[in-house]
Amino acid sequence: MKRAFTLLALLAGVGLIFFGYQYFSPAPAAPRAEMQSSAEIPAGAIVVTLSKDGYSPDTLSVKVGDTVAFRSVAGELFWPASNLHPSHLVYPEFDPQEPVQSNDVWSFTFTKPGEWKYHDHLAPYYTGVITVTE
Ligand SMILES: [Cu+2]
């Protein structure tokens, strides 16, 4: 009897942990049509290049609707993303959500005016600012 009770308590515990995980884990990210990762720089995009010296240019002014194409010549995975590291919640859409291959380009169209600070999520000492105006 005691053993059956212990088993029941154990099952309830596992159930609670499972429920808690389901309940509190964040919802999956919605598909984001305004960004893409590919080998091509989209026509009209403003290019920001990451090298061993950081992002260049590291300060940039664009208009709402402009697309910025991030690429790397550092030969490693990279991951430009909005501050604050590591949550990227200042501008959550400004985040590829995964590492970008070293030969790929990640493009993002800015739709919100503001002064958006960003960093490389894999090397957070590389930083930049993109100012978006109407
Ligand atoms: Cu980060």
CATH number of the domain where residue 77 is located: 2.60.40.420
**pLDDT tens figures, 26-46:** 444 444 545 667 888 999 999
Q: What is the pLDDT of residue 26?
A: 46
Q: What is the pLDDT of residue 38?
A: 82
> For ligand 1, a single-atom ion, which residues have Cβ within 5 Å?
81, 85-86, 121
48 within a domain of the structure (yes/no): yes
Which residues span the domain enclosing 117?
36-133
- Please state the φ and ψ torsions of residue 122, each to the nearest 5 degrees: -90, -15
**From the CA of 93, how far away is ligand 1's center (Å)?**
13
* Distances from the Cα of 52 to the Cα of 72, 78, 96, 107, 111, angstroms: 9, 11, 20, 20, 29
Q: Who contacts 9 (Cβ-Cβ below 8 Å, separation ≥6)?
A: none
1 within a domain of the structure (yes/no): no
Q: What is the pLDDT of residue 133?
A: 98
Query: Who wins on pLDDT, 2 or 18?
Result: 2
Q: What is the pLDDT of residue 39?
A: 81
3 within a domain of the structure (yes/no): no
- Between CA 42 and CA 113 the distance in angstroms is 21
- Is the pTM higher than 0.85? The answer reads no
* Pair 113, 107: CB distance under 8 Å: no
**From the CA of 18, how far away is ligand 1's center (Å)?**
28
Q: How many domains does the chain have?
A: 1
57 within a domain of the structure (yes/no): yes
**From the CA of 119, how far away is ligand 1's center (Å)?**
6
Q: What's the average model confidence in pLDDT over 104-121? A: 98
72 within a domain of the structure (yes/no): yes
16 within a domain of the structure (yes/no): no
**From the CA of 96, how far away is ligand 1's center (Å)?**
11
82 within a domain of the structure (yes/no): yes
Residue 116, both tokens: 């958006």
